[in-house]
A and B are shown apart, each in its own frame.
Chain A
């Protein structure tokens, strides 16, 4: 099976802009989670989607949003970008309802200037 794919892999944006990141889970996986990784804060959970419904949400401002489509593909959007949003954004999919072990994509490296 193909692994989790994320596009784009690298992105440079300017403060105030918005960005959309995409994630395609492993075929058959219905749970998709998003994480933000920075040197200072480590891996922080953003949100999780299961069968097109947001099941869990982390402690991030409303500028961060996401959605999941009927084919389990997921997107996350960040509006009004701030310098502090520069990070590696990781998507992970899981095969079962309880979201046990997760399979991560390679990440999208976002740089905000």
Chain B
């Protein structure tokens, strides 16, 4: 069963705009990760945030984590056409348990 649920399911924006995707989950976690998948290909790890962290940055990516609300958000600033992809959040209950993925947000960035 899906632990994470991304919102929205699909998002379409103009190049240069910011894109925000949200993820909600159900149980306590050890860490939450965001991945990107270009059409029908493998996933690429973007960022990992641990349960004791509130915010992390990596280039144009900013991830926040609110464990009290069991939610996370991924912000992509100044989006580019190359950012067009599906974005998944994945949670791990502990360090040795499998990642559980949400169904993803499909982002389209229009040039």
B11 within 8 A of A: no
Q: Mark A31-55, 1 if CB is under 8 A from B, else 0.
A: 0010100000011010010000001
The minimal Cβ–Cβ distance linking B42 to chain A, given in whole angstroms, is: 4
* Neighbouring B residues of A67 by C-beta, 8 Å: none
Mark contacts of A71-113 with chain B using CB atoms, 8 A cut-off: 1 yes-contact digit, 0 otherwise: 0000000000000000010101000011111111111010000
Of residues 44 to 102 in B, which have CB atoms within 8 Å of A's CB atoms? 44-45, 48, 88, 92, 95-102
Dominant SS among interface residues on chain A: strand
Answer whether A43 and B101 are a contact pair too, CB < 8 Å, given A100-B48, A104-B43.
yes
| Number of B residues with CB within 8 Å of any CB on chain A | 23
**B99 in contact with A45 (CB, 8 Å):** yes
Q: A42-B101, A88-B40 are in contact. Are A55 and B45 (CB under 8 A)?
A: no
- Residue from A4, A35, A42, A101 in contact with B103 in the complex, judged by beta carbons closer than 8 Å: A42
A99→B96 contact, CB < 8 A: yes
Binary per-residue interface labels of chain B (30-42) against chain A in the complex, 1 for a CB within 8 Å, 0 otherwise:
0101010000111
Q: Is B14 an interface residue (CB 8 A)?
A: no
A18 adjacent to chain B (CB < 8 Å): no
Q: Decide: B95 and A100 in contact? CB cutoff 8 A.
A: yes
Partner of A45, one of B33, B44, B98: B98
Residues of B within 8 A of A107 (CB): 40-42
Mask, A20-35, CB within 8 Å of B = 1, is 0000000000000101
Closest 10 A-B residue pairs measured CB to CB? A98-B95, A104-B42, A43-B101, A42-B103, A104-B43, A45-B98, A101-B45, A106-B42, A56-B98, A105-B42
Tell me the A residues contacting B by CB distance below 8 Å.
Answer: 4, 33, 35, 42-43, 45, 48, 55-56, 58, 88, 90, 92, 97-107, 109
6 A-B residue pairs with CB within 8 Å:
A98-B96, A100-B31, A101-B48, A103-B45, A104-B44, A106-B41
